[in-house]
Amino acid sequence: MVIKTVGVVGAGTMGGGIAQLCAGRGFSAKLYDISKEILERAKERIEKSIDTGVTKGKITPEAAAKTKRSIAYVLRLEDLAAADIVIEAATENLGLKQEIFSRLDALVASERVIATNTSSLPVQEIGAKAKHPERILGVHFFNPPPVMKLVEMIRPPRLDEKHYQTAKKFALDLGKTVVEVKDVPGFIVNRVLRPYYIEAFRLLEAGKTTIKEMDEAVVKLGGVPMGPCALVDFIGMDVNLAVTSAIFDGLGRPERLKPAALQEQLVKLDYLGPKVGRGFYLYRNRRAAGENPEVLKILPPVKNRLPPEALWAHLKRAIRQEAEMLFNEGTATKEDINTAVRLGANFSKGPFEMSSDEENRNRDRHYFSAEK
């Protein structure tokens, strides 16, 4: 099936970004939400992003104008009925997503694909009330969708191969790198990164490092643009915790994935990141302006400070072990796990590329034995 028109449900950051991406790649996009105010804010945000692209020379004024014209903002879900593919990008709430999918299943012709952009919820459960589960799958974009190269394609058990191939070609036409993963909580990137975040919180709780020292160590040694504390702030402390909790519950509440008490405390204190001006760091105009002194009061004094190499060894081991578990479960290939972590989390190496470096493995063992 040839896809020309894309329907997007939810005009938040992800939904708006997906609509912008599709329009910029030559598709006609219809962006739906429940209120005119939400759609107006989405339009303003999208057009500002497009105009920034013109200013930076990434897109011509003519292409920018065409992209803007290619997005329709609609208040009726029925307006998506004729779309060739519909992507749901609503809030990560299972009940809400099930209701949306039930309505879409009745509106959209049965030969057309309906996808969810969920970051952690089981796709099979999202489509549980649909009469045509064979055309439902996960197409997980990363934030911001016009920039991030990765798409996780999630295969529920009842998905028809032809619909998978249609969605995969669509993602490739958007210029994305596609990785395939079975329908498990967290998929690849969010699953593999859970122990990484949890270990970062544990090291802070144990007084092994400071916020700034840990972030600087990971940026330097991990080859990433931001460390775990800055990344949790960027994602949103509450959003990150919600994903951790969903994966923890979805996998049977294993101890290794139990949400950190420190993170739960910071969420209760409303230290959520740039969107509220404070998280691990303070923010002015959404830019970090030093560690949050109130968080520093909560953390214990640093004793037995770990050097940067040891901090990175701890975090790297957490990533590797979860990746190995994911592979051994048959959820994804090693190649796709490596690709997903590189492109979805911006690490310079994937988990199995990290563990294949014998010199680093020997050095890591030295740090762990030295702590005993």
Residues identified as active-site:
119, 140, 152, 190
Alpha helix segments (H runs only) across 223-260: 228-235, 237-250
Cα gap 301→209, rounded to integer Å:
9
User: Helix 211-222 to helix 228-235 angle, to the nearest 10 degrees?
Assistant: 100
CA dihedral in degrees (348, 351, 356, 361; nearest 10)?
A: 90
Strands 28-32 and 5-9: parallel
Closest by CA to 263, choosing from 229, 234, 287, 292, is 229
Q: Are the beta carbons of 271 and 292 closer than 8 angstroms? A: yes
Nearest to 210 by CA among 276, 269, 298, 272: 298
**192 vs 238: CA distance, rounded Å:** 19
CA 200 from centre of chain: 18
